[in-house]
Amino acid sequence: MTEGYLYTLLALVGFGALGVFHKLADTFRCRPSSVNALLYGWSLAFAAITLALKPVGWSAPRTIPGLAIPFGVSASIAILAFQAGIRHGDIATSWLAINLSSGVPTLASIFIYHEPVGWKRAIALGLIPVSMALLWKDKGVAERRS
């Protein structure tokens, strides 16, 4: 297995675990802000330990702190909104909607970085609105049954 596949597998497992832990936190009626603070606190601790163990340490280009601030704020808002919103829906639907948001950076990679769009990517991007419409319709049907 190549290193890239290993990282992809770790990311899949990690993001999947996040969804499960978010629903577990909701089951225990944890406040979204507390979940968010602990999530990022432990993330910081893990990243600091990882960086301390690497030979290059903390060295990074000067542009990284300027990029890290809006990235962190964006991630924090996303996690808070997800944790607060999960109380109003199923984990499967909520997590699928979050994962469909991957279309946004894909579109950015096409328009900003001029990455080529093959037919497979075009079909995948075209199916995102269809998926969202089906989720919205399914949610409406489920609410009418209740």
Domain ranges of the chain: 3-41+69-145
pLDDT computed for residue 1 by the predictor: 63
pLDDT score recorded for residue 10: 92
Distance of alpha carbon 73 from alpha carbon 79, whole angstroms: 10
Query: pLDDT value at position 45?
Result: 96
Taking residue 97's Cβ as centre, other Cβ atoms within 10 Å add up to 17
At residue 56, the pLDDT reads 79
Q: What is the pLDDT of residue 102?
A: 77
Residue whose entry in the numeric block shows the structure tokens 């279309």: 103
State the Cα–Cα distance between residues 87 and 137, nearest whole angstrom.
19
- Ranges of the chain with pLDDT below 50: none
Instruction: Tell me if 82 sits within 8 A of 39, measured CB to CB.
Output: no
Chain segment 85-127, per-residue pLDDT in tens: 777 777 667 777 777 777 788 888 889 999 888 898 889 888 8
